[in-house]
Amino acid sequence: MLKFEHVSKIYKTGTFGGKELHAVNDVSFEIPDGEVVSLIGESGSGKSTIGKMILRLIGITRGTIELDGVNVGALKGSELKEYYRKVQGVFQDPFSSYNPIFKADRIFQVIHDEFYPQVSAAAWTEKVETALKDGGLNPEHVLHKYPHQLSGGQLQRFLIARALLLDIKFLVADEIISMLDASTRIDVLNLLADLKTRGLSILFITHDLSLANYISEQAVILYRGCVAERGITEKIFNRPLHPYTRMLIASVPRLDRKWDTEISVETKATPLGALNGCVYAGRCPLAFEKCKQRPPEVEVEPGHFVACWKVEEI
């Protein structure tokens, strides 16, 4: 299980670092073994920052991230290397993950040299081919080619095959299908669903609500680095309670009704919403004086948490 406990990431900005940008602000949630948890929100809400902290690409300012009870932020040396055997990431732009002057399958050789130097070349080739087939690729068609000779979907599956070679326990999937065509998207999603059945835990970072609803057991709605609503995906989508969640879902066109009969998508201007208050208050039609204080997460029903002072009225 991967566990977030009051995690924050603060960047110093402005002249001489005199200002602070709270990219992630006191976030807590859990990702159980063998489950997919979707992290949903607008661009700039802190989704990718959370993924990068899990992968140790950036540091944690406050709080802790634990994998099976081990503090991820304290890992060093051989312990950190062992952590990367269990945790890997796949990102939005597959082309940026490859050096164009090397053949794409060089990433497999790096894995061999760093983690499995004792495995013979013949045995490693067999493992690579098996991983590619598990990822829906024909080794004869994709091996020994440069990145520009492969499609985005093939390169994404290369990265997933790399994760399979390490026999990982946790995958950070950061907008991994946003640059793929529709026919390739469903293949990659089904591959993730298949990996989940094998016990893999996945943090699925997306701004696409339909994808989150399709693939995940739980969802976390993030706004400006804060959790607005989280819990079982079905409960959040069928009964959204936070004004921000309701606005997101109302923004999705529906085939069964007119758009103007949906929940209102207004952006009321208000001076409320300071750093220590509700970050959504500046856009919320329900904002009032108490929103100058940050609302706690309240469990409104089993497996459904909402951070809003007016959740009972909603």
- Complete DSSP assignment for the chain: -EEEEEEEEEEEESGGG-EEEEEEEEEEEEE-TT-EEEEE--TTSSHHHHHHHHTTSS--SEEEEEETTEEGGG--HHHHHHHHHHEEEE-S-GGGGS-TTS-TTHHHHHHHHHH-TTS-HHHHHHHHHHHHHHTT--HHHHTT--GGGS-HHHHHHHHHHHHHHTT-SEEEEESTTTTS-HHHHHHHHHHHHHHHHTT-EEEEEES-HHHHHHH-SEEEEEETTEEEEEEEHHHHHHS--SHHHHHHHHTS--SSS-GGGS--------S---TTS-TTTTT-TT--GGGGSPPPPEEEETTEEE--TTTTT-
Say yes or no to pLDDT of 3 above 70: yes
Q: What is the pLDDT of residues 147-171, one digit of tens each?
A: 999 888 788 888 888 887 887 889 9
| 192, pLDDT greater than 90 | no
- For residue 58, pLDDT over 50 is answered with yes
Q: 131-147 pLDDT, tens per residue?
A: 888 777 888 888 999 99
Q: How confident is the model at residue 5 (pLDDT cuts 50, 70, 90)?
A: very high
- pLDDT at residue number 269: 41
| Residue 272: predicted pLDDT | 42
Q: Which of 162-171, 260-269, 276-285 has the lowest mean pLDDT?
A: 260-269
Query: How many Å apart are CA 295 and CA 276, to the nearest integer?
Result: 10
For residue 90, the model assigns a pLDDT of 86
113-117, 176-180, 273-277, 303-307: least confidently modelled range: 273-277
Q: Please state which architecture CATH assigns to domain 2-233.
A: 3-Layer(aba) Sandwich (3.40)
Mean pLDDT across the chain, nearest whole number? 85
pLDDT of residue 50: 94
In the chain, CATH 3.40.50.300 covers 2-233
Q: Considering the entire predicted model, what is its pTM?
A: 0.86
Residue with the larger pLDDT of the pair 198 and 6: 6
Tell me what the mean pLDDT of segment 114-124 comes to: 90
Task: For residue range 195-251, list pLDDT tens digits in order.
Answer: 888 788 999 999 888 888 888 999 999 999 999 999 999 999 999 999 999 988 888
